Amino acid sequence: MANTQPTPGSPESHWGSRDPAHQPPRDAVLGLKRLVIETRDRLDPAATPEAIADDLRSRGIAADPAEVARCCAEPY
């Protein structure tokens, strides 16, 4: 069996996860603003906060249209 553990002191040992299977999903780590930006870019730059919130909720992310609107109003 091959050694899959990073060499101590290597970049992989610092940044890599020792147990990637038990890391939280990407959407759980990102903040709402980042999720709103990515969703708006994917849907349409002119997407309404309601449409963005609906899309996020369909992916299992609790999103309130008022919070989404605040994220849309703030500059990147």
In tens, the pLDDT along 27-40 reads: 777 788 999 999 99
Residue 40 lies in a domain: yes
Residue 69 lies in a domain: yes
Residue 69: other Cβ atoms inside 10 A? 16
Q: Which amino acid is at 23?
A: Q
Q: Which domain covers residue 68, as residue numbers? A: 24-73
Domain count, the chain: 1
Residue 29: other Cβ atoms inside 10 A? 9
Average pLDDT value for residue range 47-55: 95
Query: What was the pLDDT predicted at 29?
Result: 73
Please indicate, yes or no, whether the overall pTM of this predicted structure exceeds 0.95: no
Per-residue pLDDT reduced to its tens digit, 5-35: 666 666 666 666 667 777 777 777 778 899 9
Q: Which residue from 36, 34, 58 is spatially nearest to 45, judged by alpha carbons?
A: 36
